[in-house]
Amino acid sequence: MRGQLKILVVDDSAFMRLLISDLISEDPELEVVGTATNGLDAAEKVSQLNPDVVVLDLNMGEYDGLFAVKAIMKEKPTPILILSSVGNTNLDPIFEALKYGAVDYMNKPNRNSSKMRTMHAELISKIKSASRAKPRSSVEDLSPAITEQASHGSNYELIVIGASTGGPSAIERVIRDLPQNFDIPIVICQHMPSSFIAPFVNRLDSLTKLKVSLGTNSMHLLRGSVTVCPGVANMIVTEKRKEKVLDFTEEQFREYNNPSINAMMLSVARVYGDKAVGVLLTGMGKDGVRGLKAIKDAGGFTIAQDENSSIIYGMPKVAVENQAVSISLDVKNIGDHFVNKL
């Protein structure tokens, strides 16, 4: 069939290679063009078969999935979807794979065909989404982190950042670049399974001298803090007894829920008005566009990650098209803009 996406399946289990290949092949738009048993085999097969997407396990012995990600991104950059059970116990290898260029991730049940089949629709959706990605390693072109904030005062009281596919590495880059004395509170809303968010918070906290924590009900947004929205509900900012605090809303949003970028950004526009900065990073879909536009319309400043540095130029593109963006920046320049231009 013309127009089919070519998929390479990489797993050291023959059973899982067959099962995953069968699930993928059920979709007429996808074709499994080959399989590989380890990271070295995967890198060689990518060169031979030129797949559109690699579906890759991480835990494969000497030549593991991280070896494959590094080799593929060096020799023939290709969208990679991590499908691995390692995320059920340790998310660090997944975040490392994303840093080195993998596009997205899914947890794989341990040799359980029935559970794997319940993930069929999500697997197909993520493969098709990954095929639209522009793969790149976030470890490329890393300039030295900013060590001291400029002495001028800021007109802004809160920065809210939204991201989806490709976002973890982009967020790491932005936060890593901020100095210890950066004093504008930051709230981050990243599309991510709820179980991934706490480890992501811990990872961010290890990369910066700022304090990174998980958002909780009634939490105050303090200067120099970085707060990540949990994935159990839609978080917002509200005013209680003349104090700005975090809260949850039962309102559902058509673009995405738990956590909804629009939920957070729309509330920030209401509460902070022209004292807010909104940032929309890489990702599929339209979540965050309405919220970013609301911040801009309220007199706040808005930033979109530019096309060249986005893994998937989806949400930022729609924001630009809807006149919701004050400026588009390469992700490597966003932290500097926070420090020296706000």
Q: What's the whole-number mean pLDDT along residues 194-206? A: 95
Q: Is 191 a residue of the active site? A: yes
Catalytic-role residue among 21, 137, 138, 164:
164
Please choose, from the candidates 99, 117, 101, 100, the residue with its C-alpha nearest in 3D space to the C-alpha of residue 109: 117
Is 211 part of a structural domain of the chain? yes
Kindly give, in sequence order, each residue whose CB lies less than 8 Å from that of residue 101, ignoring residues fewer than 6 positions away: 69, 70, 72, 73, 77, 80, 135, 136, 137, 138
Catalytic-role residue among 12, 27, 52, 287:
287
How high is the pLDDT of residue 87? 78
Supply the range of the domain harboring residue 211: 158-340
| Cβ(325)–Cβ(292) below 8 Å | yes
pLDDT single digits (tens) 265-310: 999 999 999 999 999 999 999 999 999 999 999 999 999 999 999 9
306 and 181, same domain (yes or no):
yes
pLDDT single digits (tens) 50-83: 999 999 999 998 899 999 999 999 999 999 999 9
One-letter amino acid identity for 250?
Answer: E
How high is the pLDDT of residue 299? 98
Q: Within the chain, what is the greatest distance between any pair of CA atoms?
A: 64
Compute and round to an integer the Cα radius of gyration of the chain.
Answer: 20
d(C-alpha 103, C-alpha 82), whole Å:
8
How high is the pLDDT of residue 152? 58
Cβ neighbours around 330 below 10 Å, total: 14
111 and 225, same domain (yes or no):
no
What average pLDDT does the structure give for the chain?
93
Is 143 part of a structural domain of the chain? no
84 and 220, same domain (yes or no):
no
126 and 170, same domain (yes or no):
no
CATH number, residue 222: 3.40.50.180
49 and 174, same domain (yes or no):
no
pLDDT single digits (tens) 129-157: 999 999 877 665 555 455 566 555 789 99
Q: Is 206 a residue of the active site? A: no
97 and 171, same domain (yes or no):
no
Is 291 part of a structural domain of the chain? yes
Whether pLDDT at 88 is above 80 = no
Domain count, the chain: 2
- The structure tokens 């958002």 sit at 215
| Cβ(172)–Cβ(207) below 8 Å | yes
Whether pLDDT at 314 is above 70 = yes
Q: Is 164 a residue of the active site? A: yes
180 and 314, same domain (yes or no):
yes
How high is the pLDDT of residue 118? 86
How high is the pLDDT of residue 140? 58
| Cβ(54)–Cβ(82) below 8 Å | no
Q: In the beta sheet, which residues pair with residue 84?
A: 107
Is 152 part of a structural domain of the chain? no
261 and 189, same domain (yes or no):
yes
Is 148 part of a structural domain of the chain? no
Q: Which two tokens stand for residue 238?
A: 């509200």
Q: Which two tokens stand for residue 150?
A: 């400029």
How high is the pLDDT of residue 49? 98
How high is the pLDDT of residue 154? 85
Per-residue pLDDT band for 117 (boundaries 50, 70, 90) equals confident
| Cβ(227)–Cβ(221) below 8 Å | yes
Is 292 part of a structural domain of the chain? yes
Per-residue pLDDT band for 1 (boundaries 50, 70, 90) equals very low
Catalytic-role residue among 41, 137, 191, 260:
191
